[in-house]
Amino acid sequence: MSLSLADIKKELKATDPAGLPEIISRYEFDERASVQKELESARKRYDKYIKELDRLETMAQYEEKYSEYEYICGIDEVGRGPLAGPVVAGAVILPRGARIPYINDSKQLSEAKREELYDVIMDQAVSVGIGQASCERIDEINILNATYEAMREAISKLDPKPGLLLNDAVTIPGVDIRQIPIIKGDAKSMSIAAASIIAKVTRDRIMVEYDSVYPGYGFASNKGYGAAAHIEALKTLGPTPIHRRSFIGNFI
């Protein structure tokens, strides 16, 4: 007796993409048009999965190129451009051969997908380090040096110590570990992409908390960036203690 369409749809939905070919082959001779429609959707889902596996291999190119290092760390930062809040750096060592589906530059992901991947990275990573530089520190030593400081703090929290750093574009001064700067590295290296997600989610959560402390600026939505509503609030309400004085001179 044939399964109902509802049961087949339920089975396909519950199946991991890697297992779809087996399910598709089981029902490929079912003559019901509705079933064939569901199988076609499953084939497209599987094709998308295969493309994602291919993309992940490209994302792992640098980790594979330098595989003689036991521990490779990806480094990235978030928050160099906002008018308020800290700059946050992430440092992530992934297990050798790791492949995390849908990992990418954090800017290319939805908030929901970043949150989902954050949990996966934190669960799978060998080690994660997070560093911050406050708005006061940014004003004191400038944003670039504050970014380097946050990155060094993130690296210092790693255990074990990495043998190689894959950095998003920069070379960090004051670090005694070999560094490979990669332009647009958060879209080319799985480790850097992981670091960008950790940094982005961490900073976004900080800014959401600040929204309740300093209402009226929309920190929960704009995360401290120069959105029109944020600039208008800055002009109307004045700066908060978390605003970067060196960034807001044109608005107050």
Rounded to an integer, what distance in angstroms lies between the CA atom of residue 165 and that of residue 215?
A: 39
Strands 72-78 and 127-133, how do they pair? unpaired
What are the tens digits of pLDDT across the range 68-95?
999 999 999 999 999 999 999 999 999 9
What's the mean pLDDT when you consider all of the chain?
96
pLDDT for 147 beyond 70 = yes
In this predicted structure, what is the pLDDT of residue 193? 98
Q: Residue 90: beta bridge partners?
A: 76, 130
Rounded to an integer, what distance in angstroms lies between the CA atom of residue 155 and that of residue 173?
A: 12
Answer yes or no: pTM beyond 0.75. Answer: yes
In this predicted structure, what is the pLDDT of residue 1? 58
Query: What b/e sequence results for 151-175 when a residue is b if at least 16 CB atoms lie within 10 Å of its CB, and e otherwise?
Result: bbbbbeebeeebebbbbbebebeeb
Q: State the Cα angle at 46 between 40 and 52, rounded to 5°.
A: 145
Q: What are phi and psi of 54, to 5 degrees?
A: -65, -40
Q: Which amino acid is at 130?
A: I
Residue 37: pLDDT band with limits 50, 70, 90? very high
Domain positions in the chain: 5-59, 63-199
pLDDT for 2 beyond 80 = no
What are the tens digits of pLDDT across the range 183-242?
999 999 999 999 999 999 999 999 999 999 999 999 999 999 999 999 999 999 999 999
Q: Which fold has domain 63-199?
A: Nucleotidyltransferase; domain 5 (3.30.420)
